[in-house]
Structure 1
């Protein structure tokens, strides 16, 4: 934090404009040394000639001065907007190094903003997600988190818990005081129950926030030659999987990434489910079953002419899954109610299936009133806090000292979400995921 760091904040390579950022106690002096005096007015872009320590002109570009604490990092900061040629960028970076700057580590600018309490940990993660967002759903969720939606939720939980703790600690610390009612800790029962119910509701959301970040998983399952690979190709609108008349052509999982309803979706074609004829196929069937078990949605694909395939799928699908009767071009038109009858080969009926898949994705992932837990780290911390709160409530009547300790454990678990406690063990992991210059 006592050093001044610099980094290229735009992608490496040729571009019209490249942005080089620096932050730290020496940022103002480095700006003066390279861009000359007078120093620009705060947050106003000024065109300047940029010179190295030898006075050689490197480029003419815009410079911007951000005095702390009114900057992204909370420190004195500056930016050079230069022409995006590799030679220009390299010259400016070398000049900053000669002036005493240090190359920034990945995520160091955002970490300094966190250390200077400009943002909390959830907002930093939201910023990282916004940079990585590829779909509209990801953008909306990341922007909401970066704007403090999760921080407000977690801080609200924490404040409610601290209020309940006051009742518990009152009985522990002042058991004989006349102005402290008997069993004061019992007053914490109702607010703790409300808090537990709120946490349960957020955990029981089908991992919506994590699915928006990583992708909604769909597994195509069924017997060999049912048409799973043909259906995958039809949904992907390209030849993603090999299609032949030979049973067992697909041995490993073939994945296709799509965007449906503004959300990332991963559709997996799996090996045909049957008694394997060799070790390779057996491994493919094992992977297919594993992928099906962990998928958010299973689509069972059966040859519309085969009753055996249909019966086998009925034991593998659960409520909310979809059943497809394929090869409509070869089969009679009658069929089971609720099944999607189509021909993956000709495309007939596929549009109706696509519309239903999109509706399911939208229904399960669309933003709701309460913000979603967007990372596994968040879920683990909330689960730890919830377990401690349940123990706390159970111990209120007979063991207020134990209840108080469990409440403190829950407060620490919630504090780790936003970084309001010592979370050094997770900071390096969080910020190492950032790109250089951010």
Structure 2
């Protein structure tokens, strides 16, 4: 029998209300030992909460009773909605620890019990985690869809199709003397190819689900003293980075989270780039430049910032980063005089060039508008359907596709069936459900073996 666990479910610290959750076979003991009465199931009731030994009053609070299995964890669950003072919360926690068989919950243990008791599958657990961590509207919507089982239904639909395909193939292998449907082999191949197409369509999504979870990455790059840190502060609308006329002030990556059009954006200020052997022997600055280049290479968009006075002699180290990445060129420290940027042959013709002043704010609104549109263009179609949100999902689906592809090329039924079984297990890894009994059920239902 599992132990009864308890924990504070709301954030620690001073608050109007704090919620303590209890789950396990002895949860009912809270009402018997610590409360004035037991509430009716799923109806909030005002109770007096007391110490189980000396009956000293801890708080007058709301109590909720969720008898298992109709609860979040599938076990008996108690919720205590207390006044949120530290002394009240600590008193309740200490009192619960005195009850026999009770112990503090480990991180994620309530959700783990929900999974073990088939209240949530793995993708729904991950959706719940993403919902708690969501910072933007788009992240919230994606998390709710996954928590509601949208991805689970997609995976389970594929798995059911695969089980049916495998059932036909197994029937052909194990019961060759039965009067089975003609052309089963051709039908199996056709269905495998159709399933491969559906799986690959989701694999070829540009990693948009993962990008929505982690944020659209924008790196600010450029030579020293071009105004990169000032631009970061201007876009963040607060002083995040130290601004100085001294070259090499920014040594490490400085990151700011932004919300653009409801989508998460990770904006990074990097160390100034320059020809190292000519300008510096400072080991710290060299490491900063190395990190800047590495970070820029993995960004979704580069903001290349240059001092407008040096626009005819743009830094070669920065320009190398722009050759194979989506980039926006910003000519900073503009005094309002518009320059002809068509005379910059070193830049790719398709690059967008804006003249701004991070110090005065000139051109910043236009830049924000352009960044909003760029983020929408890259992420705006995320959220209308279920998608892959983690590398774990992608790896399992890639393994599924590989197994199906092998099966589609094999004529020997026994070997084809083995790859189909592997594909089934790979899909089952995504939701945490791998059940061979489903296969047996389909065989006996569809083919009436032994008639």
TM-score of the pair, normalised by structure 2: 0.85
Are positions 1:347 and 2:353 aligned together?
Answer: no
Where does residue 445 of structure 2 map in the other structure? Answer: none
Cα pair 1:174 1:180 within 8 Å, conserved: no
Residue in 2 that maps onto 1:436: none
Matches of 1:46 and 1:237, distance apart in 2 = 46
Distance 1:415 1:312 in 2: 48
1:43 aligns with 2:47: no
In the alignment, the residues of structure 2 paired with residue 325 and residue 168 of structure 1 have an alpha-carbon distance, to the nearest angstrom, of: 65
* Pair 1:195 & 2:209 matched: no
In structure 1, C-alpha distance between the alignment counterparts of 2:269 and 2:205, rounded to whole Å: 26
Partners of 2:356 and 2:364 within 8 A in 1: yes
1:400 aligns with 2:446: no
Rounded Cα–Cα distance in structure 1 between residues aligned with 2:285 and 2:49: 64
Distance in 2 (CA, whole Å) between partners of 1:223 and 1:176 is 77
Q: Paired residue for 1:411?
A: 424
Change in 2 beyond 3 A, CA 1:44/1:316: same
Equivalents in 1 of 2:14, 2:268: separation in Å? Answer: 37
Q: Bigger CA drift: 293-302 or 270-279?
A: 270-279
Q: 2:302–2:325: 8 Å Cα contact kept in structure 1? A: no
Work out which structure has the larger RCO, using CA pairs closer than 8 Å and 6 or more positions apart in sequence: 1
User: Normalization by structure 1: what TM-score?
Assistant: 0.87
Does the residue aligned with 2:180 lie in a helix, a strand or coil? coil
Give SS of 2:409's match. helix
Give me the CA root mean square deviation: 2.5
Task: Determine helix, strand or coil for the equivalent of 1:105.
Answer: coil
Is this contact kept in 1: 2:58–2:92, CA < 8 A? Answer: yes
d(CA) in 2 for partners of 1:220, 1:115: 45
The CA deviation string for residues 20-61 of structure 1, in whole angstroms up to 9 with x for no partner, is 221122122332222144x32111112222232333333222
Structure 1 equivalent of residue 395 of structure 2: 380
Q: For this pair of structures, how many residues does the alignment match? A: 418
CA contact (8 A) 1:210 1:374 kept: yes
CA deviation profile, 1:179-224 (whole Å, cap 9, x unmatched):
3546x33322232223222222222222222222222211122233
Select the residue among 321, 324, 345 that pairs with 1:316.
Answer: 321
Does structure 2 conserve the Cα–Cα contact (< 8 Å) formed by 1:224 and 1:272? yes
Corresponding position of 1:425: none
- 2:49 is paired with a residue of what secondary structure? strand
Unaligned runs of 5+ in 1: 423-438
Distance, in Å, in 2 between the alignment partners of 1:242 and 1:160 is: 58
Structure-2 change in CA distance of 1:274 and 1:311 (3 Å): closer
Matched residue, 1:234: 234
Q: Which residue of 2 aligns with 1:150?
A: 151
Native 8 Å contact 2:274 2:315 kept in 1? no
For the pair 1:306 / 2:320, whether they are aligned, the reply is no
What is the deviation of 1:328?
Answer: 2.9
Note the C-alpha offset of 1:175.
4.4
Change (3 A) 1:321 1:42: same
**1:121 maps onto 2:135 in alignment:** no
Q: Which runs of 5+ in 2 are unaligned?
A: 343-348, 436-451
How many Å apart are 1:312 and its aligned residue?
6.4
User: 1:226/1:197 Cα in 2 relative to 1: closer, same or farther (>3 Å)?
Assistant: farther
Say whether the 8 Å CA contact 1:73–1:110 is kept in structure 2: yes
Q: Does 1:389 align with 2:395?
A: no
**Structure 1 equivalent of residue 8 of structure 2:** 8
